[in-house]
Amino acid sequence: EQFPDWQGERKDWSKPVKLLEDKWKLVPAFLEIKGLVKQHIDSFNHFVNVDIKKIVQANKLVLSDADPLFYLKYLDVRVGKPESKMAST
């Protein structure tokens, strides 16, 4: 969707902001709307749900130095809820 900017021109608001200076101008409005904590949580969730899978996919094959016929291949990765177990004595 297009909206007029402050100079009366039309801009496509779905296009990425390219200049760093322009990005810094958007930060106060972004934080006012979304909030800093929410942004950090969303960023972490994106890392866990998307980026970790991409990292594993890029490194999915692990070859053995000792035996070239032996290898590991990661098919998927999941991050579960943290849990702790008491050591038995």
Report if residue 60 sits inside a domain.
Answer: yes
Report if residue 15 sits inside a domain.
Answer: no
- Please tell me the predicted confidence (pLDDT) of residue 8: 56
pTM score over 0.95:
no
pLDDT in tens, 5-21: 555 555 666 788 888 99
Please name the residues in contact with 17: beta carbons below 8 A apart, sequence gap of 6 or more.
Answer: 23, 26
Q: How many domains does the chain have?
A: 1
Please name the residues in contact with 20: beta carbons below 8 A apart, sequence gap of 6 or more.
Answer: none
Domain that holds residue 34: 23-73
